[in-house]
């Protein structure tokens, strides 16, 4: 009789323990941090001309740097920035000649602008790609 009782009670206890732990995970409070700001830079890909990459570098007041690049024909790229604030943005065009990745070569065109990120999503349209 003791063996039959243990066969019935042990799965019931194991199931109850599992559901108690699982319900504790579901009851955890949600993280209410502010969402990370995102910059979406876009341009008209039909005005790109010869194949090249467009590189963006953002530098904040403390000197922290963030960069990304995309083919000009893509027409845009996204950057997740760590915080809102004023940034110095440098936009560069890199030639795709010689079949290389562009490492070690100087950019063919560079533009520097001040960019203020004051919202969760900032759309930045470049009138003319570099």
Q: Which domains does the chain have, with CATH numbers?
A: 38-125 (2.60.40)
pLDDT at 100: 47
Contact between 95 and 52 (Cβ < 8 Å): yes
Two tokens, residue 5:
């009782």
> Taking the CB of residue 93, how many other CB atoms lie within 10 A of it?
20
pLDDT in tens, 1-44: 777 787 788 888 888 888 877 766 665 666 667 678 999 999 98
Mean of pLDDT values over 69-84: 90
Strand partners, 5: none
How many residues are present in the chain? 130
pLDDT at 38: 92
pLDDT at 105: 58
Q: Look at the alpha carbons of 24, 30, 31, 36 in this order and tell me if their dihedral is positive or negative.
A: positive
Q: How far is CA 85 from the centre of its chain?
A: 17
pLDDT in tens, 101-117: 545 455 677 888 898 98
To the question of pTM greater than 0.85 for the whole model, the response is: no
Tokens 């010869």 map to which residue? 50
Binned at pLDDT 50, 70 and 90, residue 58 comes out as: very high
One-character DSSP codes across 23-57: HHHHTPPPP-PPPPPEEEEE--GGG--S-EEEEEE
Q: Residue 72, CB half-sphere, CA atoms under 13 Å: how many?
A: 22
Query: Taking all residues of the chain, what is their mean pLDDT, rounded to a whole number?
Result: 81
């Amino acid at each position: 009789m003791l063996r039959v009782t243990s066969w019935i009670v042990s799965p019931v206890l194991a199931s109850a323990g599992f559901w108690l732990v699982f319900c504790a995970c579901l009851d955890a409070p949600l993280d209410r941090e502010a969402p990370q700001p995102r910059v979406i830079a876009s341009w008209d890909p039909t005005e790109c001309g010869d194949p090249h990459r467009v590189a963006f570098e953002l530098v904040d007041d403390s000197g922290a740097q963030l960069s990304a690049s995309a083919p000009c024909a893509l027409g845009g790229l996204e950057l997740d920035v760590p915080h809102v604030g004023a940034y110095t943005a440098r936009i560069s065009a890199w030639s795709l000649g010689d079949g290389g990745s562009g490492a070690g070569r100087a950019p063919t065109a560079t533009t520097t602008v001040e960019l203020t990120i004051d919202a969760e999503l900032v759309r930045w349209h470049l009138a003319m790609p570099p």
